[in-house]
Amino acid sequence: MAQANTQAHTPARPQPSTSARAAENRAAHAPNAAFAARLARHRDELEWLFMELYDDRTALDALTAAMAEAAAARPDDLRRLDVERERDPEWYKRGDMFGMTMYSDLFAGDLKRLAKKIPYLKEQKLTYLHLMPLLQMPHPNNDGGYAVEDFDNVDPRFGTNEDLAALTKQLRANGISLCLDFVMNHTASTHRWAKAAQAGDPEYQDYYFCYDDRTVPDEYDAHVPQVFPNTAPGNFSWNERMGKWVMTQFYPFQWDLNYRNPKVLVAMMSSVMHLANLGVEVFRLDAVPYIWKELGTNCRNLPQVHTIVRMLRIVLECVCPAVVLKGEVVMAPKELAAYFGTPEKPECHMLYNVSIMVNLWSALANGDVRLLKAQIDALDALPSNCWFVNYLRCHDDIGWGLDEDEERRLGIDPLKHKKFLYHFYEGAVPGSWAMGELYNYDETSGDARSCGTTASLTGVERAIITHDRPALDTAVDRDLLLHRAMSFLRGFPMLSCGDEIAQLNGWDYKEDPDRIEDSRNLHRSKFDWAKAELRHKPGTLQNRLWEGMEGLREMRSDACFAPDAWVTSWDAHNDAVLAMLRKEGDRTIVGLFNFSADPQSVQLDADPASGVASGLAADLKPYEARVVEL
C-alpha cells in the first residue's frame, strides 16, 4: 500500500468560454428577462403551494411583487454570480470547500476591521465564512444575536448595511462565500411588530401567538416539549403590557412567529431577498423544524414546514439563484432527508451534521467507534442529494443526543452514558483530560450539555497547566484526529475560529455580569491574535495546529473528494478504529482513524462486490489518522 498522493488530483473549476462569458454578461444586464424566465419555470408550483397553505391571492401577489422588486434591485456583480452558479449548481460540494464560523466582533471588532483580516482567512484557503448573527438586536438579552429586532439592518455595533455589502464583495473577490443566520422561528420582543402588538394592535398580535388566558397555551403545552426546561421553562410567557400570554419556546424575549399568517411569510421572504442583495450567499435557517405550530402536535417537523422551505427555495432560485440554504435541523437521521426535499423539488441544499459532531466526541471519550460508525452508515444511506457541513465545535453547546436504540442494542445504558460523557468533558471523570463546563444541567432528568473549545476538550489546556509535554503531544494528536476524521466524511468541513491555533477556553466570561449566566460563553472568547502570530514558528503549539489544518486541505484535494465520490464505512474488525473508504472512478483511498490511547491493528477485508479487490492490514499509533491508497 502506498501513502495517498493528496496534491495532484484537484478538480479544476470549470472556466466559461468567451461566448459563455458574453452570455453571462447579457443575462446579468437583463434582470427582468432573467427573473421572468426563472419565475415562469416555478410559477405554477409556487402558486399551488402558497394557495394550498393560505388561500390568499392578495398575499401571493404581494410576494411575487416583492420578488420582482428584489430581482430588479440585484447588483450587476451578483447577477453575474447567479448565472455562474446556475452553470455550476453543485459548487458548494467541491472538495476544495473549506469553511470557518466566527463571531465577527470577537474576531476583529466590526465588519470594517474584519475586512482587513481577509488575508488571514485567505491564507487558510477558506471558501466559506459563517458569521454569527449581526443583524440589529437588543442588548444585552439577545441570545447571542438570535433575538433579532430588525431583519433588514446590521446592528450598529458591527457597522452598517454598506459595510456588510463591502465585506461580501471583498470576500467574493477572494473566493469566500459569506453565510449568515436567518432566524425564521422568532423575533426579539423589541422588534417593531412585537412593540405594536404590545401597544394593542390586533394586526401585529396576529404576527405572533397571543392569548387572553391559559386555555390554548395549556393545549399546546400538553404536546409540545420544552426547549430549555431548566434555563427558560415553559412555552409561553405572560406579557403584562399586552395583557396576554405569548408563545416563547426558546426564551421569554424571543416571540415565536405565526406563519399561519401569510403576511409573516411575505415579510420574512422579503428580508431574505434583501440580505441576498447585500451579497449573502448562504443562509443558515435557524431552528427551522419549529416554524409551524399546530394544536395537538409537538410542533416539530410538520408538513407545513417543508412547504415553507420549498417556497423559500423557489423564491431564491427565481431572484438570486447563487444563494444556497443550510438548515439547522437537530433531529435524528430519519428526520433529515425530508429537509433536502427531492431532486425534483429540493428544499435545503445542505444541513449541519449535528449527529456526527456528537458521535465524534463520544467516540473520543470512549475509545469506541461503534456508535459513530452506525451513525455514519445511517447518514450515508440517505439519498445522494443529502449534503452536510461537518464540524466539531460551533457557537453552541454539545448536546448529547445519541441514538438511544443503537446504544441499547450495543448494551449501553443511554442515561448512564450521557452522564459519563458530560462529566468526562467537564473533567470530573478519573482519567479525563478535558476541561469544559456543563450547560443547561437538569437535575430532575439528569440531562446536560457540554461547553468548551476543541483544544480544551481534547486535553491541550490541562497539559499546558500541568506543564506536561507528553500529554500536550497526545492532546494535539487527539485534536487533529477529530479534525481529520470529520474532514474525511461526506460533506465539507467547517472549523470553529481559533481551532487553527488551538485557542483555549475563555474563563474570563465569569467576570462579566452580562455573560456569566451562559456557560456557552466559555468558547465564545476574543480571538487571540498574539497566539496567531506564532502560527508560522516551528515547534509552537499554534504551528502544529496550523500545519495540521493545511494537511486537511491537502487531503481533500484528492479526486476522491469530488461531489459524486462514493463514501462508505469499512469494517476494521476493531471497535477502536473507524475505517472510511472513498472511491472516484478507478481511484480508491481509505481513511483509518484510531480513537484509542493504545496502538491498534486492523484487518480490512476485500469486497469485490463494492469494487474493492484487495484488503488492507495496518498498525496504528495512539490517536493516529492515516490515509492510504488502494
For 505-510, the CB contacts below 8 A with 24+ separation are 505/435, 505/436, 505/452, 505/453, 505/456, 505/461
Where is 551: in which H helix or E strand? helix 541-555
Q: Residues in the chain, how many? A: 630
What mean pLDDT is predicted for residues 537-553? 97
Query: Alpha helix locations (H) across 287-441?
Result: 303-319, 333-336, 354-366, 370-380, 404-409, 414-424
By percentage, how much of the chain surpasses pLDDT 90?
Answer: 87
* Closest among 553, 621, 583, 608 to 122, alpha carbons compared: 553
How far apart are the C-alpha atoms of 298 and 480, rounded to whole Å?
40
What mean pLDDT is predicted for residues 183-187? 97
How far apart are the C-alpha atoms of 63 and 57, rounded to whole Å?
10
Print burial letters for 156-191: b (CB count within 10 Å at least 16), e (below 16): eebbebebbbbbbbbbbeeebbbbbbbbbbbbbbbb
C-alpha cell recorded at residue 254: 424571543
How far apart are the C-alpha atoms of 265 and 269, rounded to whole Å?
6
Q: Is the predicted pLDDT of residue 2 greater than 50, yes or no?
A: no
Residue 6 confidence (pLDDT): 38
Residue 159 confidence (pLDDT): 98
Cis previous bond, 608, omega within 30: no
Count other C-beta atoms under 10 Å from residue 301's C-beta: 17
Residue 398: phi, psi to the nearest 5?
-100, 110
83, 23 contact by CB (below 8 A): yes
Q: Which amino acid is at 522?
A: L
Q: Is the predicted pLDDT of residue 20 greater than 70, yes or no?
A: no
How far apart are the C-alpha atoms of 258 and 263, rounded to whole Å?
9
Look at 3-17, 267-281, 284-298, 323-337 and tell me which has the smallest mean pLDDT. Answer: 3-17
Residue 612 confidence (pLDDT): 72
pLDDT in tens, 241-272: 999 999 999 999 999 999 999 999 999 999 99
Q: Is the predicted pLDDT of residue 26 greater than 70, yes or no?
A: no
Residue 238 confidence (pLDDT): 97
pLDDT in tens, 311-340: 999 999 999 999 999 999 887 777 888 999
DSSP E strand boundaries for 410-531: 437-442, 447-451, 492-496
Give the dihedral sign, CA 146/151/156/161: positive
pLDDT band at 28 (very low <50, low <70, confident <90, very high): very low
Residue 231 confidence (pLDDT): 78
pLDDT in tens, 343-394: 999 999 999 999 999 999 999 999 999 999 999 999 988 888 899 999 999 9
Cα-trace Rg, the chain: 24
Q: Is the predicted pLDDT of residue 5 greater than 60, yes or no?
A: no
Residue 148 confidence (pLDDT): 98
* Closest among 492, 485, 479 to 579, alpha carbons compared: 485
Residue reference for cell 477529530: 482
Three-state secondary-structure class, residue 341: strand
**What are the catalytic residues?**
286, 328
Residue 31 confidence (pLDDT): 61
pLDDT in tens, 481-536: 999 999 999 999 999 999 999 999 999 999 999 899 899 999 999 999 999 999 99
Q: Which domains does the chain have, with CATH numbers?
A: 31-185+261-352 (3.20.20.80), 192-256 (3.90.400.10), 358-363+374-411+450-557 (3.20.20.80), 566-629 (2.60.40.1180)
Q: Is the predicted pLDDT of residue 12 greater than 60, yes or no?
A: no
pLDDT band at 233 (very low <50, low <70, confident <90, very high): confident
pLDDT in tens, 575-614: 999 999 999 998 999 999 999 999 999 999 887 766 676 7
pLDDT in tens, 87-127: 999 999 999 999 999 999 999 999 999 999 999 999 999 99
Calculate the average pLDDT of the chain: 93
Three-state secondary-structure class, residue 4: coil
Residue 388: phi, psi to the nearest 5?
-130, 150
* Closest among 270, 271, 243, 247 to 257, alpha carbons compared: 247
CA angle 361, 366, 370 (to 5 degrees): 85
Q: Is the predicted pLDDT of residue 150 greater than 80, yes or no?
A: yes
How far apart are the C-alpha atoms of 313 and 348, rounded to whole Å?
7
248, 235 contact by CB (below 8 A): yes
Where is 193: in which H helix or E strand? helix 192-198
Helix axes 18-28, 76-87, angle to 10 degrees: 130
* Closest among 252, 195, 260, 249 to 220, alpha carbons compared: 249
Q: Is the predicted pLDDT of residue 430 greater than 80, yes or no?
A: yes
Residue 334 confidence (pLDDT): 77
* Closest among 499, 468, 463, 487 to 552, alpha carbons compared: 487
